[in-house]
Copies of this chain bind each other. A is one copy, B any other.
């Protein structure tokens, strides 16, 4: 073992103060939005808690769509701020049905805010974002979208849809660092945030961030920024810009198509039945009756393939095939599908590995 391992990570130059705004503008360009873009110096979960804390106020009537534990957190944060929250909970591990949203909204006398996760990394579900936001906008509501696990893998027309707050992170489709995130906030969003009383300055306050960041010309971030994270974000943006956001989305879409085709050729129905409701970052696949999820994952790991564990109450019923960022490519997609199939056969389940490999290959042979 080396006595003094290389400390390349500790010897980075400081991140130039005038680069924060440049970097924020590059994210803004990827989002193709007129919204203000705020850099958040922590993982995207903090961005989401900050969005909730900054939007909630007593009497606010909110519909919060819950398709994963993160969605449930969002509702709790809104309630902590005094909001009245109607929670629409989807079937476990499934996207919300648009009809359920429609009915819920019709049943309400008014709607102040709607919050929804676009794509779920936990189960591979994709909510019908455009339709949901349109329903909310038709009621005049503010909309908050968690796009952390969809941005870069699915189209996201922030301004055209009329989203007021969208949270993104570079660690998913963008293949970037994890200890940074960003929020885009519309003028409507800011106008509402200004009406929310603040009892103290806080890292959860978008109002504070606006004052120190936007209103001052974007020069001051709270605390000591991590140069490493910002340099890594730049490197990720270099790569994404070279590929183009459309290319990045197309590459993820292709990975999802190939994974789903591969699963079906194995003889397995993907966890999310409808292609239109499937995430392009991860594809969930069922754990068969009588098999332990951990045992299935262990069987795949013997091929060097890391299947992801589920979360929450469906944790034992699915595993996740990851095709995020650099993994949105033929090589990992093929290995994921074949190793999942091989793991199934370990437990006596039928799985046609050959047909699965052919199906994955056929999707990539077609091109994007």
Contact = CB atoms under 8 A, between A and B. Distances in A.
Interface stretch (A60-68, A287-295, A299-307): A299-307
Given A232-B228, A330-B335, A338-B357, A16 B45 contact: no
Interface string A1-37: 1111111111111001001001000000000000000
Interface in A30-84: 41-46, 49, 73, 76-77, 79-80
Contacts of A204: 49, 204
A216 interface: no
A257 to B, nearest CB: 14
A223 B12 contact: no
Interface in A311-368: 329-332, 334-335, 338-339, 342, 346, 352-358, 361, 364-365, 367
A231 B9 contact: yes
A3 B175 CA distance: 18
- How many subunits of this chain does the assembly comprise? 4
B364 A303 contact: yes
Interface residues of A, number: 85
Given A8-B11, A13-B7, A331-B335, A234 B2 contact: yes
A223 B3 contact: no
9 contacts: A4-B239, A7-B236, A10-B175, A49-B204, A179-B226, A228-B228, A304-B330, A353-B361, A354-B355
